[in-house]
Amino acid sequence: MRKVYLDYNATTPALPEVVQKMLPYFTEKFGNSSSLHSFGQDAVAAAKKAAAQVAALLSATPEEIIFTSGGAEANYLAVSGSVRLLPRNKKIKLITSQVEHNSIYKQCRRLEQENIEVIYLPVDCEGLIKPETLNNAITPDTSLISLILANNETGTIQDFKSIAKIASRHKIKLHWDAVQAAGKMSIDVNELGADLLSISGHKLYGPKGSGALYVRNDGQQPKFYTDTQNVPAIAGFGAACEIALANLDAYTAHCRKLRDRLEYKIRQIAPQAKINGCAASRICNTLNISFPGYYSRALAEQLDREGIAVSAGSACDAKKDEVSRVLKAMGLPPLMLFGALRFSVGKDTNAADIDYTVEKLAEIFITALDSDGFTEIINPEIL
């Protein structure tokens, strides 16, 4: 049976070159970066090199890079860390959106329990925030704007230029969750107007357990330190960022070609299917598509039995039976919500993978229609 992985937004395999960069720091270069001797200084040098590699991917400086255990920790440091530095004798207001990753959304819900006001901006049917909606939500109490740059479920890229102008005009710190964007589009923290920006290693062919928070160096930013750095992961993460930057144009072209091939062929076998997200502003590898009348979880399970890995939602919600909060915020009707699948292609995806996937999808649809006992088709009357 053919094995096809189309869930690169959930995680990517570490590149062999990345693993090779990591190996010495498990063995002969095992020193603690807090130590002053030569073993420790080898680790310090590896971390400094990785900081430069990450910074280059973001058009930042190495001094502005803080290594974390992943995107979730970077997001936590950006939002909750910023809040903790604010005087608690003044009213605090944060602005985010209804389509954020859970690592932002859930911590904002927790912050509300601390009497911090959080505004969750609505989005339109393509998942886009209207700049005027953001502008109208800002008050003198607004301390931070935290938004996802490229959505992990739909791939929709926000109008970052307009958002950056608004944040700058009001002199409000702006945080971008760029976990799904890094390695799939050009990232320039200055163009983004970013004061803070989060990325993750395992989304761009680096090791799990690695990530970074960019913090703009304006002479007032605090520094975060860890006692013992995860040097193997940091070295691998830096290497992955360097490779991502060097291959960005070729990688995005490869993914876009295959994503578009998949979309075209699915439309041929399922003309009733609907693409979710913004077609004009979407990361290169992501296709979120609703099959009205079908349960996405059932479709994903059937595809898995054929050796094809896709997602019925974001990875952090994969074990839940709830419909997507992101798609619900976009106003999808029930039939579209229950039938949404996310396909995300990557470096090792090829045309044969796409064709095999569409072939098996077509077989599943035919079986569903021909079988009186097929119970995974949604009855619209129950919604």
Active site residues per annotation: 316
Q: What does the DSSP 8-state code read for residue 70?
A: S
For residue 178 the two structure tokens come to 């760029």
| Token pair belonging to 342 | 């996310």
Strands 211-215 and 196-200: antiparallel
Residue whose C-alpha is closest to residue 29's, from 44, 18, 43: 43
Q: Is 266 helix (H, G, I), strand (E, B) or coil?
A: helix
Pairing state of beta strands 173-177 and 142-148?
Answer: parallel
Q: What is the DSSP string of 197-208?
A: EEEEGGGTTS-T
User: How far is the C-alpha of 51 from the C-alpha of 49, rounded, in Å?
Assistant: 5
* Location of structure tokens 């979880």: 297
Distance of alpha carbon 36 from alpha carbon 170, whole angstroms: 45
Distances (CA, A) of 358 to 12, 68, 306: 22, 39, 11
Write the CB contacts of 249 (distance below 8 Å, at least 6 apart in sequence): none
What residues contact residue 244 under an 8 Å CB cut-off, 6+ apart?
Answer: 57, 182, 183, 204, 205, 251
User: Which helix H or strand E contains 146, and what residues bound it?
Assistant: strand 142-148
CA 184 distance to own-chain centroid: 10
